[in-house]
Amino acid sequence: MRHRVFRAVVAGVFVVFAQFAFNQEAQNGGQEGAQQQVTYRNMTPEQRAAATRAFLGLGAEPDKAAAARGAPLFEQTCAFCHGPQGRGATGSSLLTSDVVLGDDHGEHLVPFLKKGLPEKGMPAFATMSDGELKDISEFVHLQVEEVANRGTYRVLNILVGSSTLGQNYVAAHCMSCHTTKTFAHIGSRFRSPEQLQRGWIWPVSSGDRSLANTASVKMPDGGEISGLVTQVSDFRITVVDGAGKANLIDRRPGVEVRMKDPLAAHQEMIMTLTNADMHNVTAYLDTLK
């Protein structure tokens, strides 16, 4: 049912506008205006978003922390065929998919993704965990929401946390890797709170040596090579040692690799964030201008 409502988005926006125009007229008309209850016009952004989602018949509100975790997974496993925001590429758009629109929090999507549609060219993701597939589902729902409930939704969701709680969270969970230097003026380094949030949840390597991926490799003859990892797979690893020499090592039996990858650890930390943590940290980092 819901997909039909979704397809009426354009009509819906028109009705909201018509109502807005009507309210304005009523207010200009004197007495009647004084009795107006809450109209779209004098709603807070939160009330507008809620009114729009009720009007459009959108389903459960997406879980934003899960969607943030799902973003890189979607990028790696789905974007190639369905486009970076699920709007379709060689594969279909997911925004109008019945499977997506009939799902609230992965209860239909997760089993669907495990099986795929091999006969139509949609792979089965049987080896991904339920948790990962649920995070991907929330990411897809967030894409639907952002298209359908545009504008209001963004304003609503970014800067709503407590910067004090965010500051406490950062002190407790982030300073094992970062120094205050990482966060100095961070609020002014991004163009919008949205990009700031993306920047800290899903950072790219900046070339900071103290946060680089390093390894120490024990060779079968007892020798040890350690340094910066520049390439790694299940079969080989390249380690640049202190003298600047790149060592390409086959990971054959007897070779022991101990890797220290702070960026992977950063991603693991992200998996433990709740919606409240995420909002609080973004609110705090945004104050560091």
Tokens of 247: 């060592």
Q: Does the protein bind ligand HEC through residue 165 (CB under 6 A)?
A: no
Rounded least distance, CB 75 to ligand HEC, Å: 10
Judged by beta carbon, residue 138 or residue 152, the one nearer ligand HEC is: 138
Q: List the one residue from 99, 155, 257, 288 that touches ligand HEC (CB under 6 A).
A: 99
Is 125 a binding residue for ligand HEC by CB under 6 A? The answer is yes
Q: Does 97 bind ligand HEC (CB under 6 A)?
A: yes
Taking the complex as a whole, the smallest distance from the CB of residue 3 to ligand HEC amounts, in Å, to 9
Nearer to ligand HEC, 91 or 131 (CB): 91
In the complex with ligand HEC, which residue's Cβ is closer, 136 or 158?
136
Choose which of 82, 134, 141, 279 interacts with ligand HEC (CB under 6 A). Answer: 82
Determine the Cα–Cα distance for residues 129 and 238; give it in Å rounded to an integer: 30
Region 172-231 residues binding ligand HEC, contact defined as CB under 6 A: 173-174, 176-178, 182, 186, 199-200, 203, 205-206, 208, 211
266 binds ligand HEC (CB under 6 A): yes
Q: Is 117 in the site for ligand HEC (CB under 6 A)?
A: yes
CB of 236 to ligand HEC, least distance (A): 22
Residue with tokens 């004098």: 42
Which residue's CB is nearer to ligand HEC, number 152 or number 214? 214
- End-to-end Cα distance, the chain: 46
Q: Which is nearer to ligand HEC, 164 or 205 (CB)?
A: 205
**Contact flag: residue 84 with ligand HEC (CB under 6 A):** no
Residue 277 structure tokens? 């943590």
Give 11 or 117: the residue with its C-beta nearer to ligand HEC.
Answer: 117
For residues 141 and 62, the answer to whether their CB atoms sit within 8 Å is yes
SS (H, E, C) the chain: CHHHHHHCHHHHHHHHHHHHHHHHHHHHCCHHHHCCCCCCCCCCHHHHHHHHHHHHCCCCCCCHHHHHHHHHHHHHHCHHHHCCCCCCCCCCCCCCCHHHHCCCCCCCHHHHHHHCEHHHCECCCCCCCHHHHHHHHHHHHHHHHHHHCCCHHHHHHCCCCCHHHHHHHHHHHCCCCCCHHHHCCHHHHCCCHHHHHHHHHCCCCCCCHHHCCEEEEECCCCCEEEEEEEEECCCEEEEECCCCCEEEEECCCCCEEEEECHHHHHHHHHHCCCHHHHHHHHHHHHHCC
Does 33 bind ligand HEC (CB under 6 A)? Our answer is no
- Rg (C-alpha) for the chain, rounded Å, is 24
Number of residues that bind ligand HEC (CB under 6 A): 42
Q: Does 92 bind ligand HEC (CB under 6 A)?
A: yes
Q: Which is nearer to ligand HEC, 25 or 98 (CB)?
A: 98
Interaction site with ligand HEC (CB under 6 A)? 77-78, 80-82, 91-92, 94, 97-100, 113, 117, 120-123, 125, 136, 140, 170, 173-174, 176-178, 182, 186, 199-200, 203, 205-206, 208, 211, 262-263, 265-266, 269, 281
